[in-house]
Amino acid sequence: MARLVMKFGGTSVADLDRIRNVARHVKREVDAGHQVAVVVSAMAGVTNTLVGYTKEAAALHDAREYDAVVASGEQVTSGLLAIVLQDMGVEARSWQGWQIPIHTNEAHGAARIERIEGETVIERLERGQVAVVAGFQGLAPDNRIATLGRGGSDTSAVALAAAIHADRCDIYTDVDGVYTTDPRIVPKAQRLERVSFEEMLEMASLGAKVLQVRSVEMAMVHGVRTFVRSSFDDPEAPQAGNGDLPKGTLICDEDEIVEQEVVTGIAFSKDEAQISIRNVADKPGVASNVFVPLAEANINVDMIVQNISPDGKTTDITFTVPQTDYDRARAVLESKASEIGYQTLEGTTDVVKVSVIGMGMRSHAGVAADCFRGLAEKGINIRAITTSEIKISVLIDSAYTELAVRTLHSLYGLDG
């Protein structure tokens, strides 16, 4: 017998037929003798509709009332799933975030979970009851509902799994696991049986959309084994998979992965913009004058490249920001033009970041060289480079996205 948390996203609970399908997945685990807690998102499209209502009601609205409105989507889903489970003969009860409670900080609309009191849920599980928990929400210090921001239900599920000491957190989604890259670009992409927390964190932060970054961070900090699988598989079908696991991808500690590949996957992010500041005086404090105002405006800077002129008097600074912050970043820099002292400010949003990720890179030389050579042979120019122990990221023109991803996927033997 195991203690499981099962999380279902919006597409998995989009209508009553799909909610009944989710209930069959839950019943399968209950019939197998497991203790089960379920975390659900709002039905597909509902949250966007509710957000639209708040904006239509008032362009500038109270964040606490915004949370009261948008959190209602998960409340509906959790109640409906509990009703369907009860109709199937499964003892179930719905729970809202404030009832458990899931304690958050005070940042309404984008709150972070601080702690969960899991004792009540554990008591119900041990009595054989399924706890159906509304994801995406918690209780702020002001005793009002707080929502967790985009991808919050994934985070809710992992945090709940940590709080109730679950053996595994199963994230049910519209894909059957984590792949070596996007199968829509590379049809030969392979589903990964196991991925380390560190690799998944890099993949999630660099463009892979399967899991939200905050949920992976929480899983890594608390050691929550997380399993990505499809909610659209037949709940009654044999659970064919690898070893003691059904079909999907296990995100776990590196120690659980027997054979570590040099490269695990290729990720890419189109949400990138490049900014270049030309002919800045090469003296102390210039970089501070550029990046401190951006930080104060809550604009994240990623890749940074600095080129010093032959005479050593001036420098060019090139860096990337999220595409959504491009116009705001330019405005900040233009407002500080006299302090920075640049000659010209250039930029483009027509770029993409492609990343090679793998724990095996720590102990293998030449991975970066192979990447650069492979892209050069295809005529792909690299605008910027960043590296870490388990990652190489290159910034290239967006027109070459698919060619670069396919090239690197084949180069590192990921085609299967």
CATH of the domain at 149: 3.40.1160.10
Q: Is 353 annotated as a binding residue?
A: no
Using 50, 70 and 90 to split pLDDT, how confident is the model at 364?
Answer: confident
Whether 160 and 118 share a structural domain: yes
Residue 240 has pLDDT above 90, yes or no: no
Q: Is 7 annotated as a binding residue?
A: yes
Residue 243 has pLDDT above 70, yes or no: no
Residue 153 has pLDDT above 80, yes or no: yes
Q: Quote the pLDDT of residue 212.
A: 84
Whole-angstrom Cα distance, residue 21 to residue 233?
9
**273-291 average pLDDT score:** 90
Rg of the chain taking only CA atoms, in angstroms: 24
Lowest-confidence segment of 136-140, 365-369, 406-410 by average pLDDT: 365-369
pLDDT digits over 68-77, tens only? 999 999 999 9
- In this prediction the pTM is 0.87
**145-160 average pLDDT score:** 93
Mean pLDDT of the chain: 92
Whether 325 and 198 share a structural domain: no
Are 247 and 328 in contact, with CB atoms under 8 Å apart? no
Using 50, 70 and 90 to split pLDDT, how confident is the model at 78?
Answer: very high
For 287, the domain range is 260-416
Whether 40 and 99 share a structural domain: yes
Q: Quote the pLDDT of residue 252.
A: 95
| 85-101 per-residue burial string, b: 16 or more CB within 10 A, e: under 16 | beeeebebbbbbbbebb
Whether 279 and 336 share a structural domain: yes
Residue 64 has pLDDT above 80, yes or no: yes
Whether 81 and 208 share a structural domain: yes
* H or E element, residue 376: helix 367-377
Q: Quote the pLDDT of residue 115.
A: 94
Q: Is 47 annotated as a binding residue?
A: yes
64 versus 60: the higher-pLDDT residue is: 64
Residue 242 has pLDDT above 90, yes or no: no
Whether 324 and 231 share a structural domain: no
Q: Is 285 annotated as a binding residue?
A: no
Whether 180 and 297 share a structural domain: no
Beta-sheet strand order (sheet of 113-116): 113-116, 102-104, 137-139, 145-147
Tokens for 71, please give them. Answer: 């959190």
Whole-angstrom Cα distance, residue 386 to residue 319?
11
Tokens for 67, please give them. Answer: 């949370």
**322-332 average pLDDT score:** 94
**135-154 average pLDDT score:** 94
Residue 365 has pLDDT above 70, yes or no: yes
Whether 331 and 233 share a structural domain: no
* H or E element, residue 320: strand 314-322
Lowest-confidence segment of 204-208, 293-297, 386-390 by average pLDDT: 204-208
Query: What is the CB neighbour count within 10 angstroms for residue 123?
Result: 11
Residue 244 has pLDDT above 70, yes or no: no
Q: Which of 224, 254, 284 is the last residue in one of the domains?
A: 254
**54-67 average pLDDT score:** 93
Q: CATH no. for residue 320?
A: 3.30.2130.10
pLDDT digits over 165-185, tens only? 999 999 999 889 999 999 999
Whether 24 and 71 share a structural domain: yes
Q: Is 336 annotated as a binding residue?
A: no
339 versus 206: the higher-pLDDT residue is: 339
**282-308 average pLDDT score:** 90
Q: Is 8 annotated as a binding residue?
A: yes
237 versus 122: the higher-pLDDT residue is: 122
In sequence order, what are the beta bridge partners of 113? 104
Q: Is 115 annotated as a binding residue?
A: no
Q: Is 179 annotated as a binding residue?
A: yes
Q: Is 173 annotated as a binding residue?
A: yes
Q: Which of 225, 254, 283 is the last residue in one of the domains?
A: 254
Q: How many residues does the chain have?
A: 416
Residue 207 has pLDDT above 80, yes or no: no
Q: Quote the pLDDT of residue 204.
A: 87
Q: Is 10 annotated as a binding residue?
A: yes
Number of domains in the chain: 2
Whether 98 and 13 share a structural domain: yes
Q: Which of 219, 254, 289 is the last residue in one of the domains?
A: 254
Whether 177 and 104 share a structural domain: yes
Whether 108 and 245 share a structural domain: yes
